[in-house]
Structure 1
Amino acid sequence: MRAIAFTETGGPEVLRLVDLPTPQPGPGEVLIRVAYAGINYGEVQHRLGDFGAPEGETVTGLEVSGRVVATGAEVPGRGEVTGSEVPGRGEGVPGRGAVSAEGADGLAVGDLVAAYLPDGGGYAEYAVAPAPFVFPLGGLDLRTGGGAALILTTAYGVLAGAARIGAGDTVLIHAAAGGVGSVAAQLARALGASAVYGTVSTPEKAEYAKRFGYDAVFVRDGFVDAVHEATGGRGVGIVLDPVGGPTRLASFDALAPFGRVAVYGEAGRHPDLHLPVLPVWKNNRTLTGYNIGDLSRRAPALLRTHALAALSLAASGDVRIDITDEYEPARAPEAHRVLEAGANKGKAVLAFSLSGV
């Protein structure tokens, strides 16, 4: 199968188009012929070595859409597949630990699905996913579904799980024009937010982000004053921050009493903050966090609940995923350069086995 892999950490140039054996699903796993793979900052982190050194030909990619072509043991609704549908046996491909399929709906060969891949592997023509993290597309098309499983689940999880959003909350979302930011604004509305604000790096991105239901979008420099002006000096109840560094620190000053800063990324690649506790206590502030990888290991059923709720809102049309760029697999390094430079808007995907899906 064709795949985008790397054997050493480094810049986008370490990503190469290679031919690898097709993986096979183990117990509780599903093999998917990939139509589209989402492009996310987590894959940049993987390539840079934030998740550890690569072991042999390492394939990144945290979300895909496609067709189920085989299921392993212990997968509800297990179907059979002929050998012609799944070439190769996957020898030489690093193994994955078995994941319980508890909580997964029935899956059958031929189903069109979106999937979250906590161990990567999505930048390929075939990918193996834990069954609990394989979701029906519902009304979504494959192209949209390729950019859905990670960003929708993350946006829903950080709002409902980490930030504990409630009716009437006001929300500020950093990186408002990105994949998560563009859906988080819509999800916040669906979950009861009374006002949603965003920050971006450029005026051009501000104009783009406004189409997703933001009350106002501010250029990030000076955002605290802009938030206080927009809220009559009160501040916001929730800040979603994937940026880190000075942006994260300043976010505390944008909070209303009992407001919470919910951290879910480190796109700015700043050194970690060392926050004193006394200002948190004396100003009625909360710091909380969301990490989908940790949730996949320790609370997979909760992750699945978040994903299904968010995908349902997307399938109904209440939340729109804006696929702005589509790349051929060999152009993955270019896609990573755009993402690292902060020049992306909306969601980008890699297009794989379209004719076979």
Structure 2
Amino acid sequence: MRAVGFDVIGGPEVLRPVELPVPEPGPGEVLIRVAYAGVNYGEVQHRLGDFGPPDGVTVPGLEASGEITALGTGVTGLSVGDPVAAYLPDGGGYAEYAVARAEFAFPLDGISLRDGGGAGLVLTTAYGVLAGAGRLAAGDTVLIHAAAGGVGSVAAQIARALGAAAVYGTVGSAEKAAYAKRFGYDAIHSRENFTERLRDLDVILDPVGGATRLTGLPLLAPFGRLVVYGEAARHPDLTLPVLPFWKSNRTLSGYHIADLARRAPRTLRAHALAALSLLASGAIRLDVTAERPLSGARELHEALEAGRSRGKSLLAIGE
């Protein structure tokens, strides 16, 4: 089968076409003929070596959609021919076929394969950071960093669907501000000066890190939650004192989908199905802004790494 992979860490140029055998599903797994694969910053980090060096040829791709072509032993509730979106914690989406754990293969009832290609990771994460780690309640005020990104663009919509009273965002450029406004934000602020305009926030979603994370802490309302779910700025880890959290009634929370996959797979699946239900109902939408063939993986990585991407990027691999 055709795939795109890498065997050394480095820039986008290390991604290359490879030919690999079609994988076989093991117990509790399904084989998917991939129609679309989402391209995410986590795959950029993988290529850069943040998750360790590759062991031979590694095929990235944390989410995909397609039709099931084979079932491993013990799989129930799914059939050959079913269209699914899949979260792939071990990667493998940048290929014509991918193996997924059955519990992370989500039926696409009334949802297109194209939308499903960006759902397994992005929608699950957006719902999980809000409803799980952020404990979002009706009437809460929310700030979402990286408001124009794949997660940010759907998180604003999910926050509204869950009853948020106000949703604000931050971005790094005027172009991204104009783009993010279409997703229902009350206001979009520059990441450089948002602290001058906001206060008493109930939930802050932060995939950026560094100075952005520190400057947001004083903006939390009593019992406000700062939710960390990424480190896009790739800054060294922060050292935070605990007493200010106690004395100012603040909470620091984390969301890491791979940890959920290992330790709480039922929670991960519940988040995914809830988000997909919102997508199927029309309450939220996934905005695909870049679609390339499998050979375009390098181009999409270049845009992500340079901070030029907006919304959702997809690889169109098969029908």
TM class by smaller structure: over 0.9
Paired letter, 2:153: S
Partner Cα separation in structure 2 for residue 205 and residue 239 of structure 1: 19
Q: Which runs of 4+ in 1 moved over 3 A?
A: none
2:63 is matched with: 63
Deviations 1:119-142 (Å, cap 9, x if unpaired)?
100000000000000011112111
1:214 aligned partner:
185
Question: Amino acid of the residue matched to residue 72 of structure 1?
Answer: G
- Deviation string 1:33-81 (CA, Å, 9 cap, x unpaired) is 00000000110111111122111111010000001000100100xxxxx
Matched residue type, 2:286: I
What residue identity is the alignment partner of 1:27? Answer: P
Alpha-carbon deviations, 1:91-147, whole Å to 9, x = none?
xxxxxxxxxxxxxxx110011111000110000000000000001111211111101
Aligned mates of 1:31, 1:210 — CA distance in 2: 39
Instruction: State the SS of the aligned residue for 1:148.
Output: coil
Q: How does 1:93-112 map to 2 (within 5 A)?
A: 106-112=77-83
- Equivalent residue number for residue 88 of structure 1: none
- Identity among equivalent positions (%) equals 69
**Aligned twin of 2:117:** 146
For 2:171, the equivalent position in structure 1 comes to 200
Which runs of 5 or more structure 2 residues have no equivalent in the other structure? none
Q: Which position in structure 1 is the counterpart of 2:276?
A: 311
2:96 maps to: 125
Q: In the alignment, what sits opposite 2:230? A: 265
Give how far 1:329 is off: 1.1
- Gaps of at least 5 residues in structure 1 are 77-105, 229-234
Aligned-pair CA distance for 1:223: 0.6
Aligned residues: 319
Moved more, 170-179 or 273-282: 273-282
- Measured in 2, the distance between the counterparts of 1:208 and 1:217 equals 10
Cα distance in 2, alignment partners of residues 270 and 315 from structure 1: 37
Residue number in structure 2 paired with 1:291:
256
Q: Which amino acid aligns with 2:5?
A: A
TM-score (ref. length: structure 1): 0.88
Aligned to 1:178: 149
TM-superposition CA deviations, 1:6-37 (whole Å, max 9, x none): 00111111100111111000000000000000
Name the structure 1 match of 2:12: 12
Distance 2:111 2:14 in 1: 33
Aligned-residue RMSD, C-alpha: 0.7
Amino acid at match of 2:248: N
Q: TM-score, normalised by structure 2?
A: 0.99
Instruction: Work out the CA distance in 2 between the residues paired with 1:23 and 1:330.
Output: 20
The amino acid that maps onto 1:156 is Y
2:265 equivalent in structure 1: 300
Q: Which residue of 1 aligns with 2:296?
A: 331
